[in-house]
A and B are shown apart, each in its own frame.
Chain A
């Protein structure tokens, strides 16, 4: 299907023939996509096209009914978020999956806390590590020890990204990363994506925003009603052609 892609070698991730149903609804219906190191693949489609559902099976948010996931060419089982993490998959969720009542450091390390020899939480070490990651992501960030409830949208997004970056993600899933952000913060996130890309991280980008997609992605996978319309290289298509794929499910002549 994806007849053309520039990268060669073993893909970082291959998702083959994935099916996910919720009750009678076939949210994802036999979709195959892949992702290479240092590549951004945008997964686009209208509301309910199944793009989030597809990618979230890779994150372990819910299991696939059938299909195969390969990481570095090896089949893996991803049943929950912990499985996903052991394979280097990190997710930045659309609704900023942060616990509002605890501080930035506690959120960055949530589920993977640093501990002292006695097994107690090492809050100072976590705060210090968070400060170091933040220096890279958002130098103005200082509120390490206040509940994230009181942070701005951009600061909260920094916390979510810091969580992924600190743990050396190899595969990053970004679900509408700029949806909650202002223009300046959006630019910041874009710069960050470029940087992560240059470090060889593969990124699945779920987005509604066709401009984001054309600025950031190398390849674009279009979904409609749970099925894959097609995967195209960004440089070989126009925005109108991608929009036609999203809205009408038509593959452009140039790509087929």
Chain B
């Protein structure tokens, strides 16, 4: 009697679970991304309480957004490189080199050698263009050696790691700090004036909302036209509403809520964040809606199949490195502009942060798996950890230990879930949390 009752209870339990799973499947929610958002919320709330309410403030979150931008910009490109089963160890050095070249271009070449003077309205654009073209060219060289020369990407970019950093000292400045920079160029870094301000931030938020609603509606209409199955309408509406709410609330509470320490006016969304949003939209479009991206993922899934499918795999691989070079230039501009100076150690260890962001964001070294939005979230997770630990006054070596633990924990949870080993995932989570908590607790000064 009690036996049967138990089985029916168990049955209804599994049935409920199956229903839930069916619901999740029909909503086509990216469960991995949802898990990351949940983890981020836990980290934020955790630090908020540990720091006695210092974390979830406009000021802290605004700074967090600016600090995450440069790594996140590069991480979007690193996803495509890792998805196609390569790696780029040179991004930190390349960022340093390109940042230095852009600084020298605007502070020495254009005003002095060409005799055009400082702070011309076009200086920032020329400097940025030089960086982007040079970044693309260097990416093309590294990519060509990988794709056409058949040298492993690890080796090629390890060489690049040494070469680009070393070249900074051969720029005719003997490694001196180049400063100050063009006033317009500085705006790229999100300094005191490098934000959208209140009005333009609201315009950005409204465009973001329109974009989210339009993409949901267009996808729906396309599927309808081809008589394909569609997501239940409530899910689509719910998704659009939530996306709009998140956009408007974050602009309102973080960007508008943060009053500039200089003039007391609402700061608005910082320029590096605007650049990051643009980069994310463009790279996501390339990855998901263009042949280039489709080929990158196909190569990562099965290089042989891609080749036999008639894909020009070498050119595709080379183009991932070109894109990476361009993104290094953009991130380099953001970092130098923010410092208002180019220094020789700019971007040191950035390659590790960028790779970690991509990997924490769900990019798999086995190839073929990874999302741009995941990598951006990964960068935010890492920066949240760092900034939270700074608030708790945890020394920098202990911060490194915690980030290292989180990196390995995140990846082991991810791979355990891929193999459907829930217990292993739980164990990894608990072990990682305990270790991280121990380091944080003992590292407080």
Contact = CB atoms under 8 A, between A and B. Distances in A.
Contacts, number: 79
B414 to A, nearest CB: 15
Given A81-B310, A93-B308, A110-B311, A124 B298 contact: no
Contacts of A237: none
B227 A128 contact: yes
Contacts of A59: 308
B400 interface: no
A127 B294 contact: no
B310 A99 contact: no
Given A81-B308, A120-B289, A99 B226 contact: no
Nearest to B307: A81
B228 A110 contact: no
B225 A106 contact: no
Contacts of B444: none
A121 interface: yes
Interface string A30-43: 00000000000000
Contacts of A91: 308
B223 interface: yes
Interface stretch (A111-119, A195-203, A214-222): A111-119
B54 interface: no
A208 interface: no
B443 interface: no
Contacts of A98: 302, 305
B368 A100 contact: yes
A256 interface: no
B222 interface: yes
Nearest to B225: A124
Interface residues of B, number: 27
A110 B223 contact: no
A106 B294 contact: yes
A190 interface: no
A1 interface: no
Interface size class of A (residues with CB under 8 A): 20 to 34
Given A120-B290, A127-B228, A144-B228, A99 B298 contact: yes
Contact of A97 (B223, B285, B300, B302): B302
Nearest to A144: B228
B297 A102 contact: yes
Interface in A78-113: 80-82, 85, 91, 93, 95, 97-102, 106-107, 110-113
Nearest to B224: A124
B141 interface: no
B304 interface: yes
A81 B306 CA distance: 10
B293 to A, nearest CB: 8
Complex A-B, nearest 7 residue pairs according to Cβ-Cβ distance, in ascending order: A99-B301, A128-B226, A101-B301, A101-B368, A111-B309, A111-B310, A110-B309
Interface of B: 222-223, 225-228, 285, 288-291, 294, 297-298, 300-302, 304-311, 368-369
29 contacts: A59-B308, A81-B307, A81-B309, A81-B310, A97-B302, A97-B304, A99-B297, A99-B298, A99-B305, A99-B368, A100-B302, A100-B368, A101-B301, A101-B368, A102-B301, A106-B298, A110-B294, A110-B311, A111-B306, A121-B289, A121-B290, A123-B222, A124-B226, A124-B228, A127-B226, A128-B226, A128-B228, A131-B228, A144-B228
